[in-house]
Structure 1
Amino acid sequence: MSVHTSTTKKRKSVAPGVEKAAKRPKIDAASKNGKKETKAKAKDTEFRVIRSEVTLSVSPVFANDIAKGCNELLDSMVMRYIPALQGVVLAHSKLSFLNQKAPILADCPFIICRVAFDATVWSPRIGMRLEGKISVCSPDHISLLIHRTFNVSIPRRHIPENTWEFEHGPAENDPDFGPDAASEEKPSEEVGGKWIHSLTAKPIGDAANNLSFTVIGLTVANEMLSVTGSLQDDPFHPRYSDNKPLPEDDAHDVPEEEPQLPSSDSDSELEDPFDRQERLGKKAAAKRKAEEETAAPKKKKSKRKQS
């Protein structure tokens, strides 16, 4: 099912002979600025409410209560990333039917309904500042949870090396400092290690183990959205990118490999099966002809001897 968003404005029709109402008084600059600020705040937030439209195929079991069937179908969208809404649907409300009649097409028993609804969406964007709770610390990344639900990963290259350093925890097989000897009050992530400040040795994050970061990437897998974050002051600088270009000296030293075409004798997977069959047939015919030519003199000699 495809979801569409719409922002339509209704216009009141004026009957003929009726004068138009007087123009509204101009809004002062302060109120305009206030509206602009509220719109800017709405854009900066990670949560949005979007009025959407979708066509649903309702099962005939809901013929007596089509709204219930539509709500159940919309429930299947919750906690899934919907590309048309550019976010994860958290809730839906204000269901309304766009048509007074719902058709049943041909032999299909399902009821086709065009509905509109308000979708509450979690929609983070690139460059946004968010905060999550640290769940795992390792030498190559930091894992966080946003709202105890959404995963965040901060790679090592996006952790400032001059500010933070990784402190390894006690070994698991150490009887004095291992996990068996650790008290229950200590968090489990300290067993594997933690990121600390290079000067003050203070663990990364605040007292509640929360950490602020900049969103630099979004990954969608199995209809789930995960976030890639950064702690760098300039997270979008090319030196923090995965695909780093080769230095100029090394780039000239790399030899360029010339493309090699597959040989005609080899049975390559790129060869067309009909061409391959024709080639093998010609090869077999040539071999048979050569054998016949070599066998012809021998037959003549045997006939002469018999005569």
Structure 2
Amino acid sequence: MGEKRKSQQHADSPKKSKAQKPRRKDRKSSKIADVARAPITYPSSTEGSSFSECTARLTVTLAPVHGSDHWAGIHETLNSMLLHFVPQVRGVVLSYSKAKMLSHTALLFNDSPFGQLEISVKLLVWRPLSGMTLQGAINVQSPDHIGLLLWDTFNASIPASLIPKDKYEWRPFSDEEVAARALRNGSIANSAAEDQGDNIDDDAESVTASKEHSVGVLQDARFGSGEWVLKGTSQSVGSSGSLSFVVVDVIRADSVLSVTGALR
């Protein structure tokens, strides 16, 4: 009798395990569904400006050609830093001033012909941080992201995953809207070319007209096959041409910074 009961238990055990497996899968799938429905988490708000000034102490490498003119080598080095990310100051250098040599003698090491010179300089730095609120000009919209240009210099992107779907939705353009925008872009471009030809003798007026038409083209070209709008309405998020967003991440590629943002 004991052997029969044991064999009966072994025979029943696989059935129990098979019955339990679907339950575990259901629990796992429910957890994944909960994560998918989780709201977007925004970084804590960061006060202050993305621009800052700092006085940095840097080591300048002087080529042999600048052995008799240290300032020429210093300015050459500082100019090469402009609009590039510099790790020593943790930001993109926009301008410099009040450069000062901390020593009038460049040091040579081993058999290298290049001299090392310590300087101090005041730098204007662009240093965006997570949680800051920035504003940029929209240059492209797609179902995947919104692209922006900050201060006509830096790139920013708001991926669709960071656009709250309870507030915003993607609205594709109809064929008539796409054709009308293409026609408008073509007429603006032709008008700008004609104005430039008519104002060859007047450079100032030609430049002004070209800029005005370029702005018109940019404002219309920022829309492709559709646009992001407030949910339930036709109001575009880029109706004014610019958009405020929250910095989520700052991406560094070599010496270039780009920003990933989110809409509130």
Q: Same fold (TM over 0.5)?
A: yes
Q: Distance in 1 between matches of 2:80 and 2:182?
A: 44
Query: Quick one: distance in 2 between partners of 1:132 and 1:66?
Result: 40
2:61 maps to 57
**Any residues of structure 2 matched to 1:194-233 within 5 Å, and which?**
194-207=227-240, 209-232=241-264
**In structure 1, distance between residues paired with 2:178 and 2:250:** 42
Over 3 Å counting, the alpha-carbon distance change for 1:179 and 1:210 in structure 2 is closer
SS at match of 1:199: coil
CA offsets 1:53-96 (integer angstroms, 9 cap, x no match): 11122012112220111110111111111122111111111111
In structure 2, the residue matched to 1:151 is 155
Asked whether the 8 Å contact 1:79–1:90 carries over to 2, the reply is: yes
Partner residue of 2:126?
122
TM-score (norm 1): 0.56
Task: Tell me the equivalent position of 1:165.
Answer: 169
Matches within 5 A, 1:3-82: 44-82=48-86
Match of 1:177 among 173, 176, 179: 179
Secondary structure of residue in 2 paired with 1:44? coil
Residues 27-61 of structure 1, C-alpha deviation per residue, up to 9 Å, x if partnerless? xxxxxxxxxxxxxxxx6011111111111220121
- Assess if the C-alpha contact under 8 Å between 1:134 and 1:143 holds in 2: yes
Structure 2 Cα separation of the partners of residues 141 and 175 of structure 1: 20
The structure richer in helix per residue is 2
The DSSP-based 3-state class of the residue aligned with 1:190 is coil
Which of the two has greater strand per residue?
2
Distance in 2 between the 1:176 and 1:201 partners? 16
What's the secondary structure of 2:123's corresponding residue? strand
**Deviation at 1:200?**
3.0
d(CA) in 2 for partners of 1:103, 1:118 = 23
Could you tell me whether the CA contact under 8 Å between 1:90 and 1:119 is conserved in 2? yes
Q: CA deviation at 1:176?
A: 8.4
Change (3 A) 1:147 1:176: closer
Q: Distance in 2 between matches of 1:147 and 1:56?
A: 30
For residues 189 and 104 of structure 1, what CA distance do their matches in structure 2 show?
A: 54
Q: 1:170 to 1:65 in 2, by over 3 A?
A: farther
CA RMSD of aligned residues (A): 2.2
Contact 2:142/2:224 (8 A) holds in 1: no
**CA separation in 1, counterparts of 2:108 and 2:62?**
10
**Counterpart residue number, 1:95:** 99
Partner of 2:10: none
Partner SS for 2:223: helix
> What amino acid is aligned across from residue 218 of structure 1 in structure 2?
V
Per the alignment, in what secondary structure is the counterpart of residue 177 of structure 1?
Answer: helix
Mind listing any 5+ residue stretches in structure 1 that lack a counterpart? 1-42, 233-307
| Residue aligned with 1:160, SS | coil
Question: Aligned equivalents of 1:170 and 1:68: distance in 2?
Answer: 59
Shift of residue 122, structure 1, vs aligned partner: 0.3
